[in-house]
Chains A and B, each alone.
Chain A
Amino acid sequence: MDRTFLPGPGSGAPDGGVETTPDLQRVGRLVIWAAVAAACAYLYFLLIPANRGTAWLWALTLLAEGLTILQALSVWWTVLAHGGHRDPVEVVAWRQRMLDGGDIPSIDVFITVAGEPLELVARTALAARDMRFPHETWVLDDGRSGDLLAFCRSEKIGYLRRPDRRDAKAGNVNAALQRTRGEFVAIFDADHVPTVDFLVEALPHLVDSRVAFVQSPQKYTNRDGLVPLGASEAQRIFYELVCPGKNHFNAAFCVGTNVIFRRSALADVGGLYSESQSEDIWTSLLMHRRGWRSVFVPKVLAHGLAPDTLRSYFKQQFRWSRGGFELLFTGKLLRGHGLSLDQRLQYLSTGTNYLLAFAMLIFQLLPAAYLLGGWSPVHASLSNWLAFYLPFSLLLLLVTYLQAGSFRISAIVMSIGSAPVHAQAALSVLLRRRASWNVTNASGAVQSIELVLPQFALLVINLLAIVVGVAALRAGDRTGTFLAIGWASLHVLILGRVVAEAFIDSSRLRRTGSAPASSLPPVLPARDLVKGESA
């Protein structure tokens, strides 16, 4: 239910804005304050010495709850900061001048390709070529495909190929920067199809010469299957709610696609940052440190493909969480120069967001600790504990629901299922290991249990806890045991769904012999902004 991001003609407000209705915002604030109060009360309850149970388990639970509350607070803080704003006057004015035939600066459009199928790249390239405002389109092909070269030649699209393949996408873009001259550079992934008005919408924001880049959201069009649904939903919340708030703090960061850079800003930081796999967010950090500004445009200006197998989703999550942890542990966010306090906290929140994985892992082990070992983090009467915990968790859920506008189970399942992957990323950063997450070889052999071993182990532990708990029901403390069995059953359901997805993927691979046919992103019809109707 896309109440805010409706691409295509005739969608709501003429500028497709993302503001929520004022009434909902007010209700949201009240509930948020209530949730903050409930969270403080629950923390206080946990900290009372009399309520402490087994010491180490209590400490772990406190850590997990603390992380959850911290992350919730940072999201609410960011979301509430968005006051809703129209495009500034200068932006509108410059856009109007350009549309009326005024001078349009030189623009290069890069499409980074690394072995994606030809029809996918062709769609993106054609859509990029056909965008409004004169520009030069370049396909940067690290996949070295002769077919793609022929296609580009026949369609009059630029084709660039570099002699080496160092530094992955960052190296690709930096190499292309040496071959081109446009004053502005737009970058798209191979699977992100821009709308025809991308440049018209995004470029005018660069009228302020301090703006280094303009970022627009990633929007996924494929929605069939647990993985794409869950991935899309998580993205929607991030781009609809969190990013507009980041704008307010000048902390909007680049996500690597659907972005337009000012070339002088890129030159100032030496090109895209190439010492990390997460070149996008590190480049943003560098630019912010150097005093540049960034703008997030909350309009859907490109359509992409969500990962549709568990493997590709985990790979993506590993990359993103590794970037977040790199920022957290090695980014010198608190000590380094050049950032405002708000910016530091915003970048920190990207890292702490992935720390939630550890909280989730702790929660998944709590019922087993109680049912198998008899350890409990809290020694209080059940009614006492519920009096503090119920309001806290219900209000937390309510706030999340109000903000997200919907309650997609697939998103919850996917975020819980990817917790071990995030944890592995944290370890790889802390232990300075190589940044890769490989479970199969290059030829893509059938993968099943390898993908989800940690989830499988957690599933078995929770199942075991249920079995032992049912046996123990005859010996005292029935309510505590019932509750723990209930939680363990929930975990079994969620983890079971994730493990099942791994097997579903592998059986699909075996049947079709290739990755499942993804729906290619649509090329949307042009939308004439001047006249406010479809062309």
Chain B
Amino acid sequence: MTLTHQDRRRVDPNSRPEGWVDDAGPPLDPDSPFTEKTAAERRKVARHGRARGRLRTLASWLTAVAIVVGAVYVGTLLTGYRLSSAKRVSLGSVILTARQIAVPAPVDGQVVSVSVRPSQTVAAGATLAVMRVFDSRGAGTATASNVTITAPVSGVVSSITTPAGSGAQRGGPVVQMYDPSSQTFQASLPTSAVSQLKRGMHVRLTSPAISGWIPAIVDHVVSPLQQNGQTVGGTTTASPTTPGGMTIVLRPRRAGYVSGLAPGLQFDAIVNTGSAPPHAPDIVRVVGS
């Protein structure tokens, strides 16, 4: 907007237009149509304005109520989130651990051939190895028969304990394998941390190796008595790394989440201590006591 004074309407201070009321002029005419119109106009404006004003007041009150309702809703959401986030405890690192399955020789004999290699995936019932068994029933006659050793479950071969040509005793392990879909997460924690946990609490596991996160459930602790079983991957639980600590086992919600992963992967675990089902026992308690 330009402000040069030439643009503007000029007001000549010395001019005197017609028809004005001033001190020296004629008295005010109360019947002048000009005065009437002004008063009537004013009344009309007031009537319109009243209705509009009431509508506006109502709209304002509704808006205020909407603000409060929205705030209460958002507040409840956020408060719940914040309170639950307070219950999130980090458990540190856990290791994906598989339980070693030792496939035994059914009878004494000699391993003739092994048809699998370490790290090979086998289906349940697949042939792992063939053994020659000597059947010394009759005196002097030794009949040899072949016995096939099959995989008890689907899984991955971890090692060949008894290679081809070696003898195996009945019950002794021939092939070691593990079932990836039955892997669990294990970690050694100090007793103070373990005592917070209840069976069934939800755990969230993340790792740089995978995108997203894996849900799991707090399952049980491994007592020192049980720790003779060997595990594949990670540290063996024969001796807990923390003196006075215990090993906790977290079971993935679904086997499918871990069946494609190799044992030994490290995860970060965060447990929501507010998520235990009702009447859940502390995992440090022996069930039934």
CA distance A387 to B46 in the complex (A): 59
**A397 in the interface (beta carbon within 8 A):** no
CA distance A442 to B13 in the complex (A): 34
Q: Which residue on B lies nearest to A285, using beta carbons?
A: B3
User: Which of B50-58, B95-103, B130-138, B151-159 contacts the other chain?
Assistant: B50-58
Q: Which residue on A lies nearest to B79, using beta carbons?
A: A471
Q: How far is the CB of B79 from chain A (nearest CB, A)?
A: 4
**A53 in the interface (beta carbon within 8 A):** no
Q: Which residue on B lies nearest to A443, using beta carbons?
A: B46
A159-B23, A441-B50, A460-B68 as given contacts; A467 in contact with B79, CB under 8 Å:
yes
Q: How far is the CB of B125 from chain A (nearest CB, A)?
A: 52
The answer to whether B3 touches A286, judged by C-beta atoms less than 8 angstroms apart, is yes
Contacts of B54 in A (CB 8 A): 445
CA distance A178 to B63 in the complex (A): 49
A144-B38, A440-B53, A445-B57 as given contacts; A468 in contact with B78, CB under 8 Å:
yes
A178-B13, A441-B50, A445-B50 as given contacts; A467 in contact with B75, CB under 8 Å:
yes
Select one of B10, B14, B38 contacting A181, CB under 8 A. B14
Contacts of B15 in A (CB 8 A): 178
A159-B23, A269-B5, A472-B82 as given contacts; A463 in contact with B71, CB under 8 Å:
yes
Q: Which residue on A lies nearest to B64, using beta carbons?
A: A449
Interface size on B, residues (CB 8 A): 49
The answer to whether A179 touches B74, judged by C-beta atoms less than 8 angstroms apart, is no
**B30 in the interface (beta carbon within 8 A):** yes
**A97 in the interface (beta carbon within 8 A):** no
Cβ contacts B247-281/A at 8 Å (1 or 0 each): 00000000000000000000000000000000000
**B49 in the interface (beta carbon within 8 A):** yes
Interface size on A, residues (CB 8 A): 58
The answer to whether B71 touches A464, judged by C-beta atoms less than 8 angstroms apart, is yes
Cβ contacts A444-459/B at 8 Å (1 or 0 each): 0111011001001100
Cβ contacts B13-49/A at 8 Å (1 or 0 each): 1111101111100001010001100100010011011
Q: How far is the CB of A288 from chain B (nearest CB, A)?
A: 11
The answer to whether A177 touches B86, judged by C-beta atoms less than 8 angstroms apart, is no
**A22 in the interface (beta carbon within 8 A):** no
The answer to whether A178 touches B22, judged by C-beta atoms less than 8 angstroms apart, is no
CA distance A270 to B49 in the complex (A): 36
Q: How far is the CB of A496 from chain B (nearest CB, A)?
A: 14
**B287 in the interface (beta carbon within 8 A):** no
**A242 in the interface (beta carbon within 8 A):** no
CA distance A286 to B50 in the complex (A): 40
Contacts of B225 in A (CB 8 A): none
Q: How far is the CB of A322 from chain B (nearest CB, A)?
A: 15
Cβ contacts A262-295/B at 8 Å (1 or 0 each): 0100111111011100000000011001100000
Q: Which residue on A lies nearest to B10, using beta carbons?
A: A270
**B60 in the interface (beta carbon within 8 A):** yes
CA distance A70 to B220 in the complex (A): 64
**A330 in the interface (beta carbon within 8 A):** yes
User: Which of A160-168, A201-209, A350-358 contacts the other chain?
Assistant: A160-168
A144-B38, A159-B23 as given contacts; A445 in contact with B53, CB under 8 Å:
yes
The answer to whether A178 touches B17, judged by C-beta atoms less than 8 angstroms apart, is yes
Select one of B3, B22, B46, B78 contacting A160, CB under 8 A. B22
Contacts of B78 in A (CB 8 A): 372, 468, 471
Q: Which residue on B lies nearest to A474, using beta carbons?
A: B86
Contacts of A461 in B (CB 8 A): 71
The answer to whether A271 touches B11, judged by C-beta atoms less than 8 angstroms apart, is yes
Q: How far is the CB of A179 from chain B (nearest CB, A)?
A: 6
The answer to whether B28 touches A146, judged by C-beta atoms less than 8 angstroms apart, is yes
A443-B50, A445-B50, A456-B64 as given contacts; A161 in contact with B21, CB under 8 Å:
yes
Contacts of B52 in A (CB 8 A): 441
Can you list 10 A-B contacts (CB < 8 A)? Answer: A178-B13, A270-B9, A275-B1, A289-B3, A372-B78, A445-B54, A447-B57, A463-B71, A468-B75, A468-B82
- A residues contacting B by CB (< 8 A) are 144, 146, 149, 152-153, 158-163, 174, 177-181, 263, 266-271, 273-275, 285-286, 289-290, 330, 332, 336, 372, 439-443, 445-447, 449-450, 453, 456-457, 460-461, 463-464, 467-468, 471-472, 474-475
8 new A-B pairs (CB below 8 Å) besides A163-B20, A178-B16, A268-B5? Answer: A159-B23, A177-B13, A269-B5, A271-B13, A449-B64, A450-B60, A468-B75, A471-B83
| In the complex, the 4 A-B pairs of residues with the closest C-beta atoms, listed nearest first | A441-B49, A441-B53, A271-B11, A450-B60
